[in-house]
Chain A
Amino acid sequence: MEYEKTLVMGNVAMAEAAVRAGCRFYAGYPITPQNEVSEYLAKRLPEAGGVFVQAESELAAINMVFGAASTGARAMTSSSSPGISLMQEAISYLAAAQVPCLIANIMRGGPGLGNIQGAQSDYFQATRGGGHGDYRLIVLAPWSVQEMYDLTVRAFELGDHYRNPVLLLADGILGQMAEAIEFREPAKKKSVLKPWALTGCAGRKPNVIRTLYLKEKDALEEKNIELQAKYEKITSELQLSETRFGDDAEIGVIAYGTPARIAHSAVKQAREAGVKVGLFRPITLWPFPARELRKLAARCRKLLVVEMSQGQMIEDVRLARIPATEVDPKIEFLGRGGGWYPKPKELLAKILEIAKS
């Protein structure tokens, strides 16, 4: 199907995608660089029969989402790094109670109050839990405004399918950048039944959403085993990634989000200079697409991880259990923290240097 292209910011693309995916509740607290989300939804959601609430804090925002999503509604919040830190307790509850929702982190520089430039230094927080307890979020990483749109739609579908909160993890550049995109209508799917939702107990037994297991012996451990089984299922079913120029690559560049865009340019330029280099772009950060990475890495003698941080995803690359073949690739890193990104020229120089070594 053909769609007209519209020029929009990433934040707006995400907000519009949420509405089209059936999201009917948004609560958020102002923080740069994601304020366009609430600005857009304050007008758009009521038009669509939904509810927009400017919450008194990020703590309240995520807990309003907890309440709204507990009734079976599609609900979301968005924030940026420090605000996402404030939400971590409730995110742990959402994961424990298996209440699906969308949380968007349009990352800015950290730690602390940091700055308002785009960054990727919340990778650990996003993929390792952030909140307390053994839990996982499905983490999606767009690299374009079109993907801000597409992955938002996908996030709601995945959340309902797996009964799990989903985190959309995008650097601030993606939120602020405008690109021409297609507002693709989400495929009409049968709505997911939510027999667990709180809607009043007329005609059924009462539903209870809780995360405390105080009285029943072993119940909490059993709950943890149940959650882990789900996480294993997600890990085997949902490793999304994209590989470009991978077939004959001897060097593999690994990046997500904006650095993947920069890496894509640098890889193409290096190709023109005769270097056999490929790009690997994780789309799910959890589960980390280790299977596809291993395929590429099996042919490479060097891997280069590029991030807008001091090096966080690189740990997942190391953990991807790349088998020691005869080439046994060395893992190198190029990253910048504090709200900066490696420049295309810098990255090209690094690839050429690696190619010579």
Chain B
Amino acid sequence: MTPEEKTIRQGRMHYCPVCGHSIAQRLIGEVMDELGIRTRTIGTAPVGCAVLLYDYFNCDIIECPHGRIPAVATGIKRMQPEKIVFTYGGDGDLLSIGLAETIHCANRGENITMFFINNAVYGMTGGQMAPTTLIGQKTITTPEGRIAATTGAPLRICEMLKTLVRPVYIERVAVHDAHHVERTRQAIRKAFLNQINGNGFSFVEILSMCPTYWRMGGKDACQFVGNEMMSYFPIEKFRDASE
């Protein structure tokens, strides 16, 4: 495979050091290469730090309005059922403004592959509270730390999607250490294979670091995922009806 044939383009990504986006995107690209699906894949770019996905992915991409990724992906897949459609989006996109689209897309059981980056904060807009911000976590809109009484509790989407009949595969993984990165790679692979085999809707939540807006060093940010985030968002395979 020449560099031009690879899914992830040569060159630097714009993400901050230790940010989970670059790890997750490289994993997705590498799995696409392993499966040989780059030239028949259509991806969606979200609104947020990952909006420039098309600068890194060497495949067809559409940039979606905020929150509407699952709807756009539905339209694409229904018109191009032989193509592989993956979506990539964060906690604000999929769980706040686009929660209805996320749930209904999963509930229809669209034969697509959704990757959800959960880093518990809005990155691109400067570090506001996300639907997944942990209780007590400081953001610029929860300066004293998130308080459930006024802002609710962090939203666990995998657990919600598990109540639905139609999804075939739901798993939560993380990218804060080598062991979990490898497990994430396997989850990404399975989520793509489900679509290739026509099994149905797959959803992979990836717990991810945002050291910049967590106001932490890289090492601390990785530990925050491994300790705080994973104790509220358990690493788990919630559904695997892919066989």
Interface residues of A (CB under 8 A from B): 24-25, 27, 51, 53, 55-57, 59-61, 63-71, 73, 75, 89-90, 93, 198-203, 206-212, 214-215
Would you list 25 pairs from A and B whose C-beta atoms are within 8 A, ordered by A residue? A53-B74, A53-B78, A55-B104, A59-B71, A60-B100, A60-B101, A64-B71, A64-B78, A65-B75, A66-B65, A66-B72, A68-B76, A70-B75, A71-B76, A73-B79, A93-B65, A198-B61, A200-B40, A200-B59, A200-B60, A200-B80, A201-B38, A201-B59, A206-B59, A210-B62
In the complex, chain B residues whose CB is within 8 Å of the CB of A209: 61-63
* Complex: A208 Cα to B51 Cα, angstroms: 12
Interface residues of B (CB under 8 A from A): 38-42, 45, 51-52, 54, 57-65, 67-68, 70-80, 83, 100-101, 104
- In the complex, what's the smallest C-beta–C-beta distance from B108 to chain A, in angstroms? 8
- In the complex, what's the smallest C-beta–C-beta distance from B167 to chain A, in angstroms? 16
Given contacts A68-B76, A208-B54, contact A60 B71 (CB under 8 A): yes
In the complex, chain B residues whose CB is within 8 Å of the CB of A51: 78-79
- In the complex, what's the smallest C-beta–C-beta distance from B94 to chain A, in angstroms? 13
* Complex: A66 Cα to B76 Cα, angstroms: 8
Closest residue of B by beta carbon distance from A24:
B79
Looking at A55, A198, A202, the one whose CB has the most chain B CB atoms below 10 A away is A198
- In the complex, what's the smallest C-beta–C-beta distance from A279 to chain B, in angstroms? 41
In the complex, chain A residues whose CB is within 8 Å of the CB of B70: 60
Task: Report whether B63 and A206 are in contact in the complex, using a CB–CB cutoff of 8 Å.
Answer: no
Task: Report whether A206 and B75 are in contact in the complex, using a CB–CB cutoff of 8 Å.
Answer: no
- In the complex, what's the smallest C-beta–C-beta distance from A83 to chain B, in angstroms? 15
Given contacts A56-B101, A63-B65, A206-B61, contact A69 B75 (CB under 8 A): yes
In the complex, chain B residues whose CB is within 8 Å of the CB of A198: 42, 60-62, 76, 80
Task: Report whether A210 and B63 are in contact in the complex, using a CB–CB cutoff of 8 Å.
Answer: yes
* Complex: A90 Cα to B101 Cα, angstroms: 14
Task: Report whether B63 and A68 are in contact in the complex, using a CB–CB cutoff of 8 Å.
Answer: no
Closest residue of A by beta carbon distance from B69:
A63
In the complex, chain A residues whose CB is within 8 Å of the CB of B40: 200, 202
Given contacts A63-B72, A201-B39, contact A25 B64 (CB under 8 A): no
In the complex, chain B residues whose CB is within 8 Å of the CB of A212: 51, 63
Closest residue of A by beta carbon distance from B44:
A67
Among B39, B41, B76, which residue has its beta carbon within 8 angstroms of that of A67?
B76
Task: Report whether A56 and B42 are in contact in the complex, using a CB–CB cutoff of 8 Å.
Answer: no
Task: Report whether B75 and A67 are in contact in the complex, using a CB–CB cutoff of 8 Å.
Answer: yes
In the complex, chain A residues whose CB is within 8 Å of the CB of B60: 198-201, 206-208
In the complex, chain B residues whose CB is within 8 Å of the CB of A70: 62, 72, 75-76
* Complex: A69 Cα to B57 Cα, angstroms: 22
Task: Report whether A75 and B75 are in contact in the complex, using a CB–CB cutoff of 8 Å.
Answer: yes
* Complex: A27 Cα to B105 Cα, angstroms: 13
* Complex: A57 Cα to B104 Cα, angstroms: 10
* Complex: A53 Cα to B72 Cα, angstroms: 12
* 8 tightest Cβ-Cβ pairs between the two chains A and B: A67-B75, A68-B75, A63-B71, A63-B68, A210-B63, A67-B72, A64-B75, A202-B39
In the complex, chain B residues whose CB is within 8 Å of the CB of A25: 75, 78-79
Closest residue of B by beta carbon distance from A52:
B78
In the complex, chain A residues whose CB is within 8 Å of the CB of B73: 67
* Complex: A206 Cα to B29 Cα, angstroms: 14
Task: Report whether A56 and B79 are in contact in the complex, using a CB–CB cutoff of 8 Å.
Answer: no
Task: Report whether B68 and A90 are in contact in the complex, using a CB–CB cutoff of 8 Å.
Answer: yes
Given contacts A51-B78, A70-B76, A71-B76, contact A90 B42 (CB under 8 A): no
In the complex, chain A residues whose CB is within 8 Å of the CB of B83: 199-200
Closest residue of B by beta carbon distance from A74:
B79
* Complex: A67 Cα to B65 Cα, angstroms: 11
- In the complex, what's the smallest C-beta–C-beta distance from B136 to chain A, in angstroms? 33
- In the complex, what's the smallest C-beta–C-beta distance from B92 to chain A, in angstroms? 16
In the complex, chain B residues whose CB is within 8 Å of the CB of A202: 39-40
- In the complex, what's the smallest C-beta–C-beta distance from B75 to chain A, in angstroms? 3
Task: Report whether A57 and B100 are in contact in the complex, using a CB–CB cutoff of 8 Å.
Answer: yes
- In the complex, what's the smallest C-beta–C-beta distance from A199 to chain B, in angstroms? 6
In the complex, chain A residues whose CB is within 8 Å of the CB of B104: 55-56, 60
* Complex: A45 Cα to B67 Cα, angstroms: 28
Closest residue of B by beta carbon distance from A56:
B104
In the complex, chain B residues whose CB is within 8 Å of the CB of A27: 75
* Complex: A212 Cα to B47 Cα, angstroms: 10
* Complex: A24 Cα to B79 Cα, angstroms: 8
* Complex: A249 Cα to B62 Cα, angstroms: 53
* Complex: A59 Cα to B61 Cα, angstroms: 21
Task: Report whether B100 and A67 are in contact in the complex, using a CB–CB cutoff of 8 Å.
Answer: no
In the complex, chain B residues whose CB is within 8 Å of the CB of A199: 42, 60, 80, 83
* Complex: A128 Cα to B62 Cα, angstroms: 26
Task: Report whether B58 and A206 are in contact in the complex, using a CB–CB cutoff of 8 Å.
Answer: yes
* Complex: A68 Cα to B51 Cα, angstroms: 20
- In the complex, what's the smallest C-beta–C-beta distance from B16 to chain A, in angstroms? 16
* Complex: A90 Cα to B74 Cα, angstroms: 15
